[in-house]
Amino acid sequence: MSEAKEPNHFLRIVLWWLVVTVIGTALIVFVVGPGLPPGNGSVEASGQVTDNTVLLALSVPVAAAVLVYLTYALIVFRERNPEVIVDGPPIRGNPSIQLWWLVTTTVLVLFLAGYGTVRLLADGSGGGQGPNPIAAPSAAKGDPPLQVQVIAQQWQFTYRWPAYGGVETPHLELPANTLVEFHVTSLDVIHSFWAYQLGVKADANPGQDNIAYVTTKGPLTVNIRCAELCGVWHGYMYDTAHVVSKTDFANWIKGQQTEFAPATKTLGPYSKSYFPEPQRRGG
């Protein structure tokens, strides 16, 4: 009798890898991807969903290669005789596999570096680059962005509007379909302004002007949190903002100007950052 032909293990592994990769990538792109955070509340948030989907999809082939090979080896190459306790022959390396692994991972890393750079420049790099981000998104029809100063303090956020007489409001409303330029700063300790559904997170440092961009879409409710441990009432530092129509926003900001007119008169002139005198000193 002729001996049974040794199966082509490499071909089997490649075929299983292709099947798992195709199925896994399709699930990521069409099932998991649309539900990834932070959602589609703004142009920047939608871009982050796309970026997260791309990153996750590109990790599928690498993860599939590792898992398929491990599973195949555990099933096919295992010792089926429980009485045999001798180790198999030692493996000293496989130059071909090592080369392809290095080439594949290097190409992925370089592609992701290029992709991330392009996306950063396309959507604006505000959020952690201070007062001079290297890239800013362009407003529709050439309109200047709406500037909103986010002032963090223990333990709340307030919002100052330089285009509306410097009025400072305790809550945030934004007009729909508008490029907004947040100027994030702090009055005391380090905070972090996190507007989840808008895809905005920017550190609030005392004496610093940290710019973050967002292009709003339709009406939306936004959860705002402080994402930096800032003291005993850090967990209380949250707010609910709204994206509304431009007409509703115009009515809202006009009402805020009227309501807070006496307080606006007592405020200091608008500044990109503040250095308030401490109310008390420890000692």
Q: In what order do the strands lie in the sheet with 146-153?
A: 167-169, 156-161, 146-153, 179-186, 210-215
Distance CA 45, CA 214 (A): 8
From its phi and psi, is residue 177 left (phi > 0), alpha (psi between -120 and 50) or beta?
Answer: left
DSSP codes joined into one string, 39-54 = -SSBHHHHHHHHHHHH
Q: How far is CA 171 from CA 3, 193, 280, in A?
A: 80, 13, 27
Cα four-point dihedral sign 45, 47, 52, 53: positive
Distance CA 70, CA 12 (A): 13
- Compute, in degrees rounded to 10, the torsion defined by CA atoms 226, 48, 182, 216: -110
Which pLDDT belongs to residue 126?
A: 61
Residue indicated by tokens 């509703």: 248
Which pLDDT belongs to residue 282?
A: 44
Q: Strands 156-161 and 238-244: what pairing?
A: unpaired
Neighbours of 254 (CB within 10 A): 12
Strand ranges, E, within 98-217: 146-153, 156-161, 167-169, 173-175, 179-186, 191-195, 200-204, 210-215
Contact 129, 183 (CB under 8 A): no
Domain residue limits, the chain: 9-78+100-123, 140-266
| Per-residue pLDDT of the chain in tens (283 residues, 90 and over written 9) | 455 566 788 889 999 999 999 999 999 999 998 888 888 889 888 888 998 999 899 899 989 999 999 999 888 877 777 776 666 667 777 788 889 889 988 998 999 889 888 887 777 666 667 888 887 777 655 678 899 999 999 889 999 999 999 999 999 999 999 999 999 999 888 999 999 999 899 999 988 899 999 999 989 999 999 999 988 999 889 999 999 999 999 999 999 999 999 988 888 888 787 766 655 544 4
Q: Which fold has domain 140-266?
A: Immunoglobulin-like (2.60.40)
- SS3 state of residue 277: coil
Model pTM? 0.79
Which pLDDT belongs to residue 283?
A: 40
